[in-house]
A and B are shown apart, each in its own frame.
Chain A
Amino acid sequence: EVQLVQSGAEVKKPGESLKISCKGSGYSFTTYWIGWVRQMPGKGLEWMGIIYPGDSDTRYSPSFQGQVTISAAKSISTAYLQWSSLKASDTAMYYCATFARLYTDAFDIWGQGTMVTVSS
């Protein structure tokens, strides 16, 4: 079964760092792009960026460039999203999803989401 399993919910304080993960299984992890999507409480989906695990080629949304870092460890089929200094406005649900694995130009398999809460 193809799936993406994300790390658990996090509660952090402003200024702290964080790295959340997304582990793929059931398919060739290195040959399909993985994207990250933010959903703030009660709001819509926002595309953050995308990475090709095979060579770590990464593209960012202008809105998130410099705010987060997307990476991947292909040896353990895991993609990451990290912050060096969290803000309260980073409180959101974060989803990873495979891109164009089976279906052209679309996010076809989604992780279950990781809730990040940033509060003092």
Chain B
Amino acid sequence: DGGITQSPKYLFRKEGQNVTLSCEQNLNHDAMYWYRQDPGQGLRLIYYSQIVNDFQKGDIAEGYSVSREKKESFPLTVTSAQKNPTAFYLCASRIGTGLYNEQFFGPGTRLTVL
């Protein structure tokens, strides 16, 4: 089955720790995205990548880092510099970055800071 997988589904972090969220896709999509979703806030773009070894900051990149070493993988690291990391994190991918390209989402990772 083609799709996007995110792991883990639930993640607990102590304050001051870095954690890495996994996102893998087997759709052969070029572009990948990370969003953060908070209650009442909608989806906010953290980082996106249009091709391997290249990525751009989104609207709320501070305290986060990413890498894109392989086309199918786009891990997100939530660093200790992120002041309020508790949220639902969604990874998405698109076959290209044209106007009509649909964005497909993974199932999400819920991160809680203890």
Q: Is the A/B pair a real complex?
A: no
